[in-house]
Structures are given as structure tokens and as C-alpha cells.
Structure 1
């Protein structure tokens, strides 16, 4: 039970810190766009508070929900195809945006508890080419790409895949990404993040976790760009917490592999100073919310929740939802879905997480 308590705190820390980094990055962008006064030499003062999260956190929530539903389906029926269940979860997310034209019978009835959370519903249609794939109702795969999108949209929702069994983390992380992103730079960073997060939750140190991710990226011939970016981020981080100029050398953050490199550089450089590392991950000209989210995932999986500042958590949008999903995902994927004496899934879990 002690081990379960420890890993639960890491899983909760992974998703909560990801949400904090997402919100800090979004706030940093807002501050810059509105010319807010701040001291560029003191990022701790600049990014000391949080607030609303972006779709990175919202889609992470639905990823976690999809994994729980897959575990329920496997327990109830003895068979499950997790990418299909995740696709249904992403279609539910898409419906919360008030998006029309989602061709899926699975949206005839939006079930489960998270679709009833008012804060998850926002009007508007995402413009990202990867997410636009959801509008078709079709599911992309690694063997059948749905587009050629290289963006970071799949990476920022990939952390929950690390909670799964070690032997399939990379494979499933890539398959989940391919649902909406068909380019290698959209797919392989997600698989790498799943491996990193999973290794840290298992008790590995960051060096070993990154080594495992590199090992997975050496095999697929089209993963070379992501492997090179990961190595560049690691190398930059060995010199300490990177400056904004340092991070700019890793790219603009428009693609999944660039965001992964920025996040890894900050996590490596400030591993023993996670608060400063997280602030650094959003203090650069690139995709701040995305880099903050991924860096937070890594640091949270390593350190749990104890380092997260009260001022970050007090104002964090969806804090309780993220924590609840993280705890339930840990239970379903690391311990087992709660069952009755006869082995069937409890009625409460079936109501909250229908197995489809």
C-alpha cells in the first residue's frame, strides 16, 4: 500500500504539474501580449501565479478518462482496443467545444462524469490541423496516417499513457498520437514522453528515464528527428537551467519534437529545483503553454506534488478535476478497476466510466 500511495502521488503530480505549467505558459503569453510590467531577469516573480488552462490540459483530462474506460472495458469484456476507446474520448472532448459535424454515433449520448463539468465546455472550433481531424469522425493510426500534422497537440496530452504497463508505453503513446497527428514529429515525441513519465513513476531517475526513451526512438527509422531533438535538449540541460536564448536554439516550438526538447532541457537543467525549472520552461519565445505542460508532466512524475506552490494550485482551473482523474487513472491502470465480490466492475465506476 505504501508503494501504491507513492506512485499515486507521482501520477497526480504528473498531471497537476502539467496543468500548472500549461496555465503558467498561457499566463506568460497573456502578460507579454498585454505588455504587463515584469522583470525579465526574475522569472519567479514574473510567473508566480496561475489561472486558466488551455486545451493541453483539457485533452489530457480526456486521455486519462479514455484510459480508465479502456481498463473498465478490458475487465468487463476481456478484450479492448485502447486507441479506439481514446478516439471516442477525444470525440467527446471535441463535442465540448460546441463543434458541429462530428460524424460519430458514439456522441449520440455523452456519458460519464467529466462531460458534466461546466468548466470543460467552451464554444469555438480548434484551428489546429491535427485536432481538425476529429471533425471527420475518422481515426488515424500509425499505419494509416490521417494527415501530415507535425504539431505538439498530441504530445501535450500524452503523459497519461506513461501510467500503462511498461512493455507497451511507447507503442500506445505513438498510437494515441496518431489518432489526430500523422507526421513523425507529431507521433514519436508522444511515445517518448509516455516512456519518460512511466519510467519515473516506476522509480527510475531522470537519466535512466531519458535513456529508455532514446532506446525506443533508435528503432523506428522515421523517429530520428525526435531522437536528435531529445538529445539536444538533454545536452543543453547539463549546463543548468537554460536561459530564454538557450531555449531558442532548440527551435520555435511549433512541432512536437521541439517542444519535447525545450521541456527536457528545463527538466534536466533544474531537476533539483523543479519550481525554477518549470518557470524557465515558459520563459522563452516559443510555445510556452505546451513546453510548460510537458515539463510539468516530467517533473511531477519525478517529484510528485510536494513542490507545487500553493499560489499555483489555488487559482488553477480544473484542479480538482485533474487530481480526481489522476487518482482514478492510477487506480485503474496501476492497481486495478474496483470490482464487486463476483468480479464485476462496481456500479459506481461503470456509471462514471462506461467501458466504451
Structure 2
């Protein structure tokens, strides 16, 4: 019989795998993000990219805004929980996540970390001091303009109506950053709703924020031990309970049906689901690649997720998040992992996320947590 400690070790591996797998997929797709399938094949052969290849600056393994924002999502959730534990003040997750995204925005607008000083806790913290994060790699326009709007979503507001910020935008910037909402031990419903509300910080279209919510619910189910297909179907069942879900549900149904058809997974089949620039298409492509690639290896599924015309880094990142949450970090391709930018920091953030949420509700008598890295704001 699996002991409590064995179960915790498996969950820990899945949290790590989720964030590291997303970074690998992001790095694989980064050099080919804006290339058509034909251009990818002309540059890399009929198979397309078969591993990490150099980007336009000649460096392989570099991540993009997808991994950057995912890390700041995790940081915001950790700091919100630390505030609740340390000060006894809960319910501030949406505000804490927005403040974390403002710290990410500083990495896009400045060449290096700031000099420490003063009491500006919003703009300080361990993650923001990592020099490698200070790189602008095609961040989404809605993410940039949305943060400037200063909107903090009401954590109790009903879902289904367009949000006030970029109400017509459903770009994949909502999905690619939302895996951490499923890693906090919340129920799938809780992860869904928090991810959907935090997506409205920058994107107001219901399809955009529902895709983020459905993705977070899938991750929550996977961490609990459900299989890939079961996690997707259960998230789709949850999604159907919310008004205005139809566009997101239809995209996911197309992905599941395509995977269940069988046959050899190909880039041409991936492209029937779209290009991934919008949220529901990015999620659908990632889901199809994860499901269709089950008979092979995580590496094959990741390559399928990036070798297509469209937003290859985002579809690769979301697929990597799903695969890592399903299989844990030990099944990620080791040669790609060691070459992925920032992997030590990514693993450390995953460990801190795990420690803050999982240990707090465990049998550990007095878990030691590095609160100094996550100020209570």
C-alpha cells in the first residue's frame, strides 16, 4: 500500500514536472514560433525540429514569456498564501497575482534587476532578482496593455460575461501562464475559477479565461493522479457548467475526437485544430498532442506540439505542463532538461510552490519555508 510519504513524493514530482516540462516545450518551440510548417521543414528537414535548436540569436534552450509568466504566477500564489499564513489575511489571490505580473512587466521594461532598497515590497522579491528573466521574447500585446489597465478581478464575481480589460481578446497569453493554479492543492473547480478570474487581469473574452480555467482544472486532476484522458474529460464536464463555455468546449471536443480517431499523429492533423494564437486553439493543440502521443514518449508528444504553423512555443509549453504533471519530472527528456534555460530556478520555484501548499496541510510538524524570498504583500 502506498504510504502518505510515497504519495507526497509522487505529487512533488508532478509539480516539478509540470513547470519543468512547460519550460522544455517553450524552449523547443521558441525558435520556430513564427514559421509556417513548410518553412520549418525546409529549415530542419521533413521531421521538423527533433530537439532543441538555436534561436535567431544562435542560442538553444532559451525560454520565452510563457515560462516567465508561469513562474510569476507561481510566485504570486506563493506570496498570497504566505500572507494568509503569516498575517491571517486570506482571499487576496487575484491582487497578489496581478502584483506578480507587474514584477514580470518590469523584466520586460528594464535590462537588469533593480538595486534593492526601500519598502517597495510589490517590486522586490527573489524571483525578480534573477538576471536571466530580463529578456523580452515576444510578449503578448494583451498581456502588456492589460497590466497597464490596473484591473484586479473580483474573486467573487460570476463568470460568463466579458471582463473590462481587453474584452475582445482571447489570446493564448491566458493559457500559457496558468498551470500553477492547478498545483496548489485546490479542487479542480477552485483551480478553474481562480485561473479564469486571474486571466481577466489582461484578457476579458470569456473563451480566453475559460480556456485558462479548463487548463488549470486538468492540471489539478493530473496532480491528483488521474490519467490524461480522464483529466481532460473531467475538466470539460466542469467547463460545461459555466455560461458562454461553448467555444472553448467545442475546441476541446475537436481535440479529443481527433486523438480518439487513432492513426499516426501528424503536423497536418495538428493544424486542423488551428494555429494556437488564441487560447482555445492553443489548449486544444496541446491536449491533442498529449493524448495522441501517449503511445510514444513525452519527447515525441512535445515535438508534435511544436512542429506546426503558429504559436509553437505556447502550444509546446502547455503540452509540456500537461505531460510533466502526468508523468513527473523523472520522465522528462534529460538532455533537453539540462539544456533548458533557468532550469535550476524553475525547479526551485516548483519546490517552493510544493512546500508552501502541500507541506502546510501535511503531517510535517513545523515545515521550514523560506518566507524571506516571498514578502507578505
TM-score using structure 2 length: 0.84
The answer for the alignment partner of 1:129 in structure 2 is 142
Q: Secondary structure at the match of 1:306?
A: helix
> C-alpha displacement at 1:46, in angstroms?
5.6
Correspondent of 1:14 among 6, 14, 18: 18
> C-alpha displacement at 1:54, in angstroms?
0.5
> C-alpha displacement at 1:29, in angstroms?
3.6
Specify every segment of 5 or more residues in structure 2 that has no aligned partner in the other structure, as ranges.
55-59, 111-117
Q: Secondary structure at the match of 1:270?
A: helix
Return the alpha-carbon distance in structure 2 between the equivalents of residues 215 and 139 of structure 1: 28
The answer for the alignment partner of 1:146 in structure 2 is 165
The answer for the alignment partner of 2:103 in structure 1 is 92
> C-alpha displacement at 1:10, in angstroms?
0.6
> C-alpha displacement at 1:31, in angstroms?
7.9
> C-alpha displacement at 1:30, in angstroms?
7.4
The answer for the alignment partner of 1:354 in structure 2 is 375
Give CA deviations for 1:127-157 in whole Å, capped at 9, x if unaligned: 5123311123333455743122110001000
Specify every segment of 5 or more residues in structure 1 that has no aligned partner in the other structure, as ranges.
100-104
Q: How many residues align?
A: 348
TM-score using structure 1 length: 0.89
1:195-234 map, 5 Å: 195-234=217-256
Change (3 A) 1:279 1:259: same
CA RMSD of superposed structures (Å):
2.8
Correspondent of 1:315 among 339, 357, 371: 339
Matched, 1:23 2:46: no
Return the alpha-carbon distance in structure 1 between the equivalents of residues 104 and 96 of structure 2: 13
> C-alpha displacement at 1:55, in angstroms?
0.1
Correspondent of 1:58 among 63, 68, 74: 68
Change (3 A) 1:202 1:234: same
Change (3 A) 1:329 1:272: farther
Q: Is the 8 A contact 1:19 1:296 kept in 2?
A: yes
Correspondent of 2:203 among 172, 181, 186: 181
Return the alpha-carbon distance in structure 2 between the equivalents of residues 237 and 310 of structure 1: 27
Return the alpha-carbon distance in structure 1 between the equivalents of residues 136 and 308 of structure 2: 29
Q: Secondary structure at the match of 2:354?
A: helix
1:77-116 map, 5 Å: 77-80=87-90, 81-98=92-109, 110-116=123-129
Q: Is the 8 A contact 1:126 1:132 kept in 2?
A: no
> C-alpha displacement at 1:106, in angstroms?
9.2
Correspondent of 1:265 among 288, 291, 316: 288
Q: Is the 8 A contact 2:275 2:310 kept in 1?
A: yes
Return the alpha-carbon distance in structure 1 between the equivalents of residues 258 and 310 of structure 2: 16
The answer for the alignment partner of 2:323 in structure 1 is 299
